[in-house]
Amino acid sequence: MAKLIIEGGHRLSGQVTVHGAKNGALPLMAAAMLIGEPVQLLNCPRLSDVEHMGRLLKGLGCLVQWQGDTLCIDAGGASSLALPKSSAGAIRSSAFLLGPLLGRFGAAEVPYPGGCNIGDRPLDLHLKGLKALGIRVEEGSGCIRCYGRPKGGVEISLEYPSVGATENLIMAACGAEADTVLVNPAREPEVDDLMVFLNAAGFALRREGSSRIRIRGGGKGRGLLHRVLPDRIEAGTFLTAAAITGGKVLVRGARGEHMSALLQTLREAGCRIRTTAEGVELTGPERPKEIRFSTMPYPGFPTDMQSQVFALCTLAKGTSLVEETVFENRFAPAAELRRMGADCRIRGRTALIRGVKALRGAEVTARDLRGGAALVLAGLAAQGITEVYNAQVLSRGYENLAAALKGLGASIRKEDQSP
């Protein structure tokens, strides 16, 4: 167990460099299984979710090793098509392995990754799509078994633009003989980057307008080197830290064009934002203004930034309204923020946040990755000392968040609570 101890009241200032994207690296790692030749992922973030995915790939017979911040994966020797039951539960992205295993071998067995704190996280859209590709799917005793080579020549409509289902079906369809078209696919930048990666490997995929992706059949992938795109959620977290402390921070490497909805909302809160080739710079207001936003699939406001901006709203002048439309249980930090003096009410998928002049430091507990980040941001602005327990959950999505914030002037330190 780990705890972060934060003394609030320090305006952040300076520069920080964004790492490679967690939600970019994970599908690329899975796609290495489809390619079956040496793949090098540059600028790969050292996160516990990435390490766990690496263990899953090793468990399937792949070679996985770090060379600096490059992750090298060679799935040439992959043999077993069944992930051990004990392995996959911890992270959702184990489900991403269904598509590549089917695309390459025509068989896959993945333990049900199950839900997590933010929601039930079903896989029905993944499985419906795989069945449409002619795959036989058996569910039972805690795992999913799939058999058959993906057959193309179909058009698959997604009821919801699920990121994971889109990525899984793209990778499965790469192994089909005939073309496949996905209708209503996810439009996240990480999906586009996966398509760039697969095209560079020798497959043929393209978007046809904003609501269709065509995956050419009969492709074969070759080994390649690819740079993981910058993490727009890590970048957004640093920018919101500047906003909540009234500071001024440049996030080097951040790509403003991937963050438009978030930046628009932060401007409405009174932040001054400059996007350049170098990155994105934010100057926070003395006190944020009230805002209203709803989380939506990309290019809408990202659900992975909802908790962090929720924390900003607790200090706004006026009453803010936040609607979480993507996950059914993503307001966990509210109870912890109330312990710090926040005035927020949750009604189903909507939160009403009456801004207060100041938060006070308290002992709080991180329940999920982005909710934990929200508590850290609140601690940066609170009067006094905040202790964030269960802080190890942050390492799932941030490479040493405390060190990065300390480098920007925060008073923050980590204490290991291991028994």
Task: Indicate which residues carry an active-site annotation.
Answer: 116
* Integer Rg of the chain from CA: 21
In the bound state with ligand EPZ, the residue whose beta carbon lies nearer, of 109 and 231, is 231
- Contact call for residue 168 and ligand EPZ (CB under 6 A): no
How many residues of this chain interact with ligand EPZ, rule: CB under 6 A?
A: 24
Q: Which of 43, 94, 162, 307 binds ligand EPZ (CB under 6 A)?
A: 162
Stretch that binds ligand EPZ, among 121-129, 148-156, 223-231, 256-264 (CB under 6 A): 121-129
Q: How far apart (Å, rounded) are the C-alpha atoms in residues 180 and 133? A: 8
7-26 positions binding ligand EPZ, by CB under 6 A: 22-23, 26
Residue 299 DSSP class: T
Q: Minimum distance from CB of 319 to ligand EPZ (Å)?
A: 26
Q: Which of 93, 180, 237, 395 binds ligand EPZ (CB under 6 A)?
A: 93
In the bound state with ligand EPZ, the residue whose beta carbon lies nearer, of 11 and 145, is 145
The 3-state DSSP class for residue 334 equals: helix
Chain position carrying tokens 């049900």 = 112
Q: Which of 370, 402, 410, 412 binds ligand EPZ (CB under 6 A)?
A: 370
- Contact call for residue 324 and ligand EPZ (CB under 6 A): no
The 3-state DSSP class for residue 255 equals: coil
Is the dihedral angle over the CA atoms 96, 101, 103, 104 positive or is it negative?
A: positive
52-91 positions binding ligand EPZ, by CB under 6 A: none
- Contact call for residue 197 and ligand EPZ (CB under 6 A): no
Is the dihedral angle over the CA atoms 123, 128, 134, 136 positive or is it negative?
A: positive
Q: Which of 14, 122, 142, 218 binds ligand EPZ (CB under 6 A)?
A: 122
Specify whether the backbone of 140 is left (phi greater than 0), alpha (psi in -120 to 50) or beta: left
Q: Which residue is nearest to ligand EPZ (CB)?
A: 164
Closest by CA position to 172, among listed 135, 225, 209:
135
Q: Minimum distance from CB of 327 to ligand EPZ (Å)?
A: 5
Q: Minimum distance from CB of 24 to ligand EPZ (Å)?
A: 8
In the bound state with ligand EPZ, the residue whose beta carbon lies nearer, of 104 and 370, is 370
The side-by-side arrangement of strands in the sheet containing 272-275 is 13-17, 248-252, 279-283, 272-275
Query: What would the DSSP string read from start to end of 338-387?
Result: HHTT-EEEEETTEEEEE--S--B--EEE--SHHHHHHHHHHHHHSBSEEE
Q: Minimum distance from CB of 324 to ligand EPZ (Å)?
A: 10
Residue 226, H or E segment = strand 224-227
Binding region for ligand EPZ (CB under 6 A): 22-23, 26, 92-93, 119, 121-126, 160, 162-165, 303-304, 326-327, 369-370, 397
